[in-house]
Amino acid sequence: MTLRPVKVGVIGGGSVFTPELVDLLARSYREMPVKEMVLMDINLPRVEILLGIAQRIVARAGVSFPIRVTQDYQEAIKDADYILIQLRAGDQAGRITDEKIGLKYRVPFVETVSVCGLGTFLRSIKIYEDIAGLIRTLAPNAYVMNFANPAGPLTEYLLRLGISRTIGVCNVPVILGQYLGDIYHEPPEAFYMQTRGLNHLTVTDAIYLDGRDILPDLLPRVEPYKFPMPFSHHVIEAFPAVFNPYYQYYFHGQRIMNKLLQAEKTRGEEVLQIEQELLRLYSDPAVDQVPDLLRSRGGFGYSLVVVRLMLSLYRNDDTIHYVNVRNNGVLAELPDDTAVEIPVMIKQGRVLPIETGPLPHYAAPLIITMAEYYRLLLDAAQERSKKALRQALLVHPLFPDADMSDQIIDEMLEINRDYLPASFS
């Protein structure tokens, strides 16, 4: 049987994670040959560094496929089978600015939560609208995998813009699977996790191994303030479930805020240093594999999720993945057009949701609230409406005061004026 080669377009090809992605595609080449890989990035000097190490990684793997760089979205999108979006609007400088606003107003934050998630989303609106328009015209049948943050609302925005084959990906389920594998000495794929919710806001109330729910055995083993539940022992004991680690920003907001205020550097400033060192390594002609340093950069493992998903879609192998897709009634508590994170099965080129049952009553209120926040945020983007943006922040539980929210909105709109649509008011 002759395998059909695929074109892979990467938007944000200058990401430090590109070598991990290329390495996995090279290892999978005999199962899914690559016809062409296009690394698109507006930062040409940076993406050319990534091109060099990408070509060395492919050569080291003993396979061959063309990789080229471009600053043109169209070249990456046109006739692509898979479009991978891993851009960061505003780069690390934008993230650091968002973090400074979070510190100023004492709002708990991380890359996808509260002020940082808001800032990155605002900077991404026009870019995603442009990308969506090109996909509709140049690659209407492509699978679009979004792992740019904030992954939840950006995936939902692409779906709202008519890109129905959009799938949002996250590395937390993979890391949880590896954690379970280490404890029970089984491969991660041996476990089925009954998980559902929103990106970075999921709850898992059953984990099956050989047909048996092992969650009652697992929970007593969980250590407070450590992965997979970085919460106090009181929180862990209170619920018969594994909450996504990002719940810590809601459950322990004051504790998080105190740590953020005491830190010498923000996470964005730390990441900037790590990325500079990675780019220095990538520039070395002798480096032809993914360096260990990449593991210290939050987000390691996203490429594994993406390539596994691509292979499943290519092979139609009936495997289960944990991804973000349009709700379409799977979670009855949420609107149909919400992007929900749930288990799905890949079958005959289709992404089929797996029934998980209703949201646990103790998790539903926050998930429903945040789904409404995302809806209002997307309304604000499409309507270019400061009023809808104000409504969104008043719904969000981490923005506790209307006057403070107004000040944050004004600062965010002013700082990001160059990225926002001109009509935003």
| For residues 365-389, average pLDDT | 97
- Beta 166-168 vs 67-70: how paired, if at all? unpaired
| 67 inside domain | yes
Q: Which domain holds residue 34?
A: 6-170+268-325
118, two tokens: 């808001």
**pLDDT tens-place string over residues 3-54:** 999 999 999 999 999 999 999 999 999 999 999 999 999 999 999 999 999 9
Residue 328 CB neighbours (<10 A): 11
Flag whether pLDDT at 106 surpasses 90: yes
Q: In this structure, is residue 393 part of a structural domain?
A: no
Q: For residue 199, say whether it is annotated as part of any ligand binding site.
A: no
Residues paired with 51 in a beta bridge: none
pLDDT at 2: 80
What is the reported pLDDT for 233?
96
Per-residue pLDDT, 155: 98
Return the bridge partners of 370, or none.
Answer: none
> pLDDT category, 348, cuts 50, 70, 90?
confident
Sign of CA dihedral 121, 125, 131, 137: positive
Residue 15 lies in a domain: yes
Residue with tokens 């080129």: 349
Q: Is residue 200 a known part of a binding site?
A: yes
Q: How many domains does the chain have?
A: 1
pLDDT (mean) for 89-105: 96
CB 289 within 8 A of CB 23: yes
Question: Residue 120 in contact with residue 98, Cβ under 8 Å?
Answer: yes
pLDDT tens figures, 184-226 = 999 999 999 999 999 999 999 999 999 999 999 999 999 999 9
The verdict on residue 341 lying in a domain is no
Q: Is residue 276 part of a domain?
A: yes
For residue 193, the tally of other CB atoms under 10 A from its CB is: 22
| Residue 316, CB-side half-sphere exposure with 13 Å CA sphere | 4
Q: Is the pLDDT of residue 257 over 90?
A: yes
Question: What confidence score (pLDDT) does residue 1 get?
Answer: 64
- Known binding residue 221? Answer is no
pLDDT digits (tens, 9 = 90+) for 282-331: 999 999 999 988 876 655 678 899 999 999 999 988 899 999 999 999 99
CATH code of residue 145? 3.40.50.720
* Burial group, residue 2, by CB count within 10 angstroms (0-12, 13-18, 19+): exposed
SS (H, E, C) the chain: CCCCCEEEEEECCCCCCHHHHHHHHHHCCCCCCEEEEEEECCCHHHHHHHHHHHHHHHHHHCCCCCEEEECCHHHHHCCCCEEEECCCCCHHHHHHHHHHHHHHHCCCCECCECHHHHHHHHHHHHHHHHHHHHHHHHCCCCEEEECCCCHHHHHHHHHHCCCCCEEECCCHHHHHHHHHHHHHCCCHHHEEEEEEEECCEEEEEEEEECCEECHHHHHHHCCCCECCECCCHHHHHHCCCEECHHHHHHHCHHHHHHHHHHCCCCHHHHHHHHHHHHHHHHCCCCCCCCCHHHHHCCCCCHHHHHHHHHHHHHHCCCCEEEEEEECCCCCCCCCCCCEEEEEEEEECCEEEECCCCCCCCCCHHHHHHHHHHHHHHHHHHHHCCHHHHHHHHHHCCCCCCHHHHHHHHHHHHHHCCCCCCCCCC
Phi/psi for 83 (5° steps) reads -115, 120
Q: Is residue 13 part of a domain?
A: yes
Q: What pLDDT score was predicted for residue 415?
A: 95
Give one word for 2, left, alpha or beta, with left for phi > 0 and alpha for psi -120 to 50. beta
pLDDT at 296: 67
Task: Tell whether residue 165 is among the known ligand binding residues.
Answer: no
203 inside domain? no
Condensed to tens digits (0 to 9), the pLDDT of residues 145-161 reads 999 999 999 999 999 99
Instruction: Check residue 400 and give its pLDDT.
Output: 85
- β-strand partners of 39: 10, 69
Mean model confidence pLDDT for the chain: 95
pLDDT at 72 over 90: yes
**Burial of residue 55, with CB atoms counted within 10 A of its CB: 0-12 exposed, 13-18 middle, 19 or more buried:** middle
- Burial (CB < 10 A; 0-12, 13-18, 19+), residue 407, is middle
Residue 354 has pLDDT above 60, yes or no: yes
Assigned domain for 40 exists: yes
